[in-house]
Structure 1
Amino acid sequence: MTRVAFVDDHESVRLGVEAACARTGNTEVIFSGSTVTAYLDWRRGSNADPADVVVLDLTLGDGTTVSENVSRLVAEGSAVIIYSVADRPAAVREALVAGAAGVISKSSPIEDVVGAIATVARGEVFNTVEWASAIAGDRAFADAQLSTREREVLKLYAAGLPLKIVADRLGIAFSTAKENITRIRVKYVEVGRPAPTKVDLLRRALEDGLLSEFPAGADGARRQP
């Protein structure tokens, strides 16, 4: 059962997505409200575990920034999906840098929103046209100044190859490949885009144009970014 919280200052929007989630039978809506502060206060007051996924509006009426809201939710242990009209690429970039798992437009079919929640809850990379357009051409966002070798290692590793196979493909020692991954992670931290997991590294590779499409999933299908 996926535990979901909705933070949006438009009640009608929240009610629609809540109803769709309820119909799945495997999603429990544990909170619905208009601010992140209200959610955190509720959680502490009820001593509840954090939501697996928080669906968050890009702009709330309480004056908070999207970076602040995403950072607070991620620090609590939740994955965050930005649910917005997605007409503000700069704000979407801020959300992604702060740790949001992805963004989906409020014009998307409701089943796509439910599917996005399930994808993020499984710990998988979630990408959309809105996500891609928010980072396109933004070198300040994309530039971690990786070396040629580091880019080669990241491209193969993020595409799903085990690190030993990556080393073999590039004709380098396993220890060298491992050192490259460590340096890559350090460089991403230095530019405010941490990548502690392999899924995070996949996101960074997509953001930086090292991969043109998602690696095949368990079903063998490929998904375009």
Structure 2
Amino acid sequence: MSVTSPSIRVLIADNHPVYRNGVSQELEATGGFDVVGVCQDGQEALKAIIESEPDVAVLDYRMPLLNGGQVARAVTEASSSTKILILSAFTEDSTVYQALQDGACGYLTKESEPEDIAKAVEACFRGEPVLPPKLAAGLISEIRSRTELRRPSLTDREREVLKLLAAGMSTPDIARAIYLAPSTVKTHLQHLCDKLGVSGRAAVVAEAMRRGILT
């Protein structure tokens, strides 16, 4: 154990009593940790975090009332110094992504060995991100898929039409500027609407700006 004094103050929340008590006992047996509370749901955990401000809160993701991500987001918004480590049986890429997006410092599976949990708590305490390689690979895939949704694949011609549209040009003006028939320009505009999930010229420009396609 690299941290000897003072002990890292830890709060544990899980709706399964056997598991949460097991994690608590394992950490205290490791030495260097002071378990300041155990909670059975997210609402109780959030209240305890706000009141006692432990160094690290180890939370299950799927809990009654508030899930681990919601607790993490509330703790972040409250500017609390408590770091959140998610310890969950749910390892879907979207769940891991959302938990980290909500402010969790790390994410471990419940299959993790006690020593790995202890090391993860120490890392979170130091402000270091924690994510096992098998979860990191899925997270990268999730980020890529979300990026593709955020920035849909546009053809060079569609991008050209979009830029001219953003400059305030009408369909006939765009057609003359890039030597296309007005009907062809309208087809490109419809493709832009479909890819961005909107309808109307103004909505296309606004959505493109929101997604960072137009800057």
Give the TM-score taking structure 1 as reference length: 0.56
For residues 117-147 of structure 1, what are the alpha-carbon distances to aligned partners after superposition, in whole Å with 9 as ceiling and x for unaligned?
11111222322134313412222556899xx
Q: Give the aligned residue type for 2:55.
A: D
Q: Is the 8 A contact 1:66 1:94 kept in 2?
A: no
Residue of structure 1 equivalent to 2:41: 35
| Runs (5+) with no aligned partner, structure 2 | 1-6, 152-209
Q: Is the 8 A contact 1:58 1:83 kept in 2?
A: yes
Structure 1 position 85 matched with structure 2 position 89: yes
Q: Is the 8 A contact 2:49 2:82 kept in 1?
A: no
Q: Is the 8 A contact 1:7 1:36 kept in 2?
A: yes
Structure 1 position 61 matched with structure 2 position 64: yes
Residue of structure 1 equivalent to 2:122: 118
Structure 1 position 9 matched with structure 2 position 15: yes
Pick the aligned partner of 2:73 from 71, 74, 92. 71
SS at match of 2:141: coil
Q: Give the aligned residue type for 1:25.
A: G
SS at match of 1:82: strand
Task: Provide the C-alpha distance between the structure 2 equivalents of 1:67 and 1:37, rounded to a whole number of angstroms.
Answer: 12
Equivalent residue pairs, number: 143
Structure 1 position 25 matched with structure 2 position 26: no
Q: Is the 8 A contact 1:103 1:130 kept in 2?
A: no
Q: Give the aligned residue type for 2:95.
A: A
Give the TM-score taking structure 2 as reference length: 0.59
Q: Is the 8 A contact 2:73 2:102 kept in 1?
A: yes
Q: Is the 8 A contact 1:86 1:104 kept in 2?
A: no
Residue of structure 1 equivalent to 2:112: 108
Task: Provide the C-alpha distance between the structure 1 equivalents of 2:124 and 2:92, rounded to a whole number of angstroms.
Answer: 22
Report the CA distance between 1:72 and its aligned residue: 1.5
How do 1:74-223 and structure 2 match up within 5 A?
74=76, 75=78, 76-138=80-142, 139=144, 141=146
Report percent identity of matched pairs.
24
For residues 75-129 of structure 1, what are the alpha-carbon distances to aligned partners after superposition, in whole Å with 9 as ceiling and x for unaligned?
3321111101133221111001111111111011111111111111122232213
The two structures, once aligned, show a CA RMSD in angstroms of: 2.5
Q: Is the 8 A contact 1:104 1:130 kept in 2?
A: no
When Rg is computed on C-alpha atoms for both structures, the one with the higher figure is 2
Q: Is the 8 A contact 1:66 1:91 kept in 2?
A: no
Question: Which 4+ stretches in 1 moved above 4 angstroms?
Answer: 140-145
- Cα distance change of structure 1 residues 42 and 66 upon mapping to structure 2, 3 Å threshold: closer
- Cα distance change of structure 1 residues 134 and 52 upon mapping to structure 2, 3 Å threshold: farther
| Runs (5+) with no aligned partner, structure 1 | 146-189, 192-225
Task: Provide the C-alpha distance between the structure 1 equivalents of 2:9 and 2:134, rounded to a whole number of angstroms.
Answer: 25
Q: Is the 8 A contact 1:7 1:35 kept in 2?
A: yes
Report the CA distance between 1:43 and its aligned residue: 5.3
